[in-house]
Amino acid sequence: MTSPAPAHARISVIGAGPGGLTCARILQRHGMDVTVHDRDPGPDARNQGGTLDLHADNGQIALREAGLLDEFFALSRPEGQEMRHWDPSGTLTGHHIPAAGELFKPEIDRGQLRDLLLDSLHPGTVRWGHALDTVSGPADGPRRLHFANGTTIETDLVIGADGAFSRVRPAVSPAVPEYTGVGFLEAWFSDVENRHPDIAELVGPGSAAAADGDRGLFAQRNSGNHIRVYIIRRVPADWLTRSGLTADDTDGIRALLLEEYAHWSPRMRRMLTDNEGPYVDRPLFALPVPHTWAPNPTVTLLGDAAHLMPPLGVGVNLAMLDAAELALALANAATVDDAIRTYEKTMLPRSTETAKALEGGAEHLLSTDVPDFGHDA
């Protein structure tokens, strides 16, 4: 089959996260038809997670191409760039305060970013309740998408923006994510200025981190007077089962954490114990480095589906940059095949370089080294 011109191609994005939605938005700005398929039954089916920073040299570039940069700045929190570093005793060892007008990486809640992108799309662009099972059909197309709800569709281009455990990835690569040996437990705190003033003071308007070499804490201020704390530990993937616990045994998990963090100060341990609701277990996975594949004229990947790395501030930014570059390649290429080759020629080396720099980076989350913030307060 001859690769079609992008303007006449049936383009299917799998995954309505920041990467997939950014790609769809930029394609539509260039007059191209695209459909996004997502496994969630609707846009409000689940909490979208905590806050993230969008960097001027990648995420913000994508939003500029999407025509949404001004709207992003109106929603973002520049004060969220403040960062505090504590030791386990509760002593402040590092403090970065952003300069007036600094906008290199302001924070925005994931839900707010997703809503911004969703609202920018043509009505009906996202087809909810479409969890992809498999991709079939010849490599040169057309492809068939098989969904868990029993439906199938035919398409000329499949863009896998479906995250760590992508169902699109097997069409181009046998790679699977591997557990890094480090896991997060997520804890939530609401109405923090009134209900958790000491934690609010520790975290400030941005983020705060502490570690002792084997375990750590990373706290982030979200909008709406919320804070999320990520409890970072070097543990086996099945640590809950080995400990005789279940995910809903909040009291049991809390008792275990108090034992593990017994030498931390009582003030710091409040971020372990004063949370509202259950803990959320989030083991950290990464794809092998390098992760590359042979060019395929009908399938490509972006974001975590292409280059899952430890959560060190690059994931969403790279996904959105990938999305912008892929959409622009499609807008400017004679064929879909040409566009994919142009996109992957840049994306794969960049992601390989970044992944090599961050390989084993989950361990850095436990380091006692104080980051170089550039200036202290």
Closest alpha carbon to 35 in 16, 54, 57:
16
- CA distances to 11, 56, 98, 308 from 376, rounded to whole Å, are 48, 22, 10, 32
Contact 332, 324 (CB under 8 A): no
Query: How far is the C-alpha of 265 from the C-alpha of 375, rounded, in Å?
Result: 27
Q: Is 46 annotated as a binding residue?
A: yes
Burial class (CB in 10 A: 0-12, 13-18, 19+), 334: exposed
Q: Is 87 annotated as a binding residue?
A: no
How many C-alpha atoms does 132 have within 13 Å on its Cβ side? 29
Q: Is 304 annotated as a binding residue?
A: yes
Q: Is 322 annotated as a binding residue?
A: no
For tokens 């794969």, name the residue.
348
DSSP codes, 140-185: TS-EEEEETTS-EEEESEEEE---TT-SSGGGT-----EEEEEEEE
283: cis peptide before it, omega within 30°? no
Residues annotated within the binding site for FAD are 53, 110, 304
Residues annotated within the binding site for NADPH are 46
Residues annotated within the binding site are 46, 53, 110, 304
